[in-house]
Structure formats: structure tokens, C-alpha cells
Amino acid sequence: MTTSPEMHCASALCRVPAARALAFLADGVRLGDWALGCWQTRDVGNGVVQGHSLFDGQPGWVRPIADAARMTVTYHVGGSPEMLSPRIHATVEPGSAFGEGDDRCRISLHASRTPDMNDDRWLRLVRCHEVEVLLIQSQLARTATD
């Protein structure tokens, strides 16, 4: 985990190949199984999903965009499908990049603090990402046995 006043990164080791983790992270509907701020997503078209926050029940929209060459997913997030901005990024590193086998990978969620984000909102985002990487790790472990 890396935290600064303006950036945060939470990571977890996963026991699946990197390609499987990337596909999971890029799946907008599956996002609703682990993203506490966008729970129970549903496809609304054009690569956008809509879910709701477990904190206040408010709706949120997300367009995940994967870059397979870079092993990243950028989550364009907003309060409406027309007002999405790239706010959250996920990276996947194959196990071979850090001395493990290719049947493992490391996933990381990266956030940058926006100028309008107060301290309480930032702390909540940081804590959510710390939990969300564990949810992703657990769900990937379950899919590894399917």
C-alpha cells in the first residue's frame, strides 16, 4: 500500500494468471461485485455500467477501459453517463515481474485526489480501495477453482 496526500495505491497478490485478472477488472458488470462505491452494476450501453454507493445509495456510472498491452484498466467515473472522467486506475503485473510464477499476479488500484475532495471523502476512498483489493483477490481465488 502506498499513500500520499494526493495519491493512493492498494495492492494484493492473486493466485490467477494476469490475463484472467485483467479480464475480471475490465468487466463492468463484475465491478458491481467488489466496488463499494458502485455496487450491483448493470449494463446501460456504450460500455457504461450503473450501480449505487453502499454509503449513501446514490447512483454512479462507470466506463471501464482496458489496455491489454499495458495491463491496465482506467475507470471513467461520474454522476451521469455524460459526465465521466478517468479517476481510478487498476494495474496488473504478471508474477514473473516480481519473482513469482505466471499462475500469479499482483493487482493494484490507484487513485489521485481531486481538488474538490475533502479529507473525509479522501480517507473513505483510501479505505475502500484497501478493502476492494481484498474483495478482488477473494473473488479471483474463487474463479480459479471454477
| CA distances (Å), origin 121, targets 25, 39, 60, 101, 126 | 23, 18, 15, 38, 9
pLDDT tens track for 106-137: 999 999 998 889 999 999 999 999 999 999 99
pLDDT tens track for 73-91: 999 999 999 999 999 999 9
What whole-number percentage of the chain has pLDDT above 70?
A: 95
Q: Is the pLDDT of residue 146 over 90?
A: no
pTM, rounded to two decimals: 0.92
Which residue type is seen at 33? D
Per-residue pLDDT averaged across 88-98, rounded? 96
Q: What is the CATH number of the domain that holds 105?
A: 3.30.530.20
Number of compact structural domains in the chain: 1
| Domain that includes residue 93, residue range | 2-144
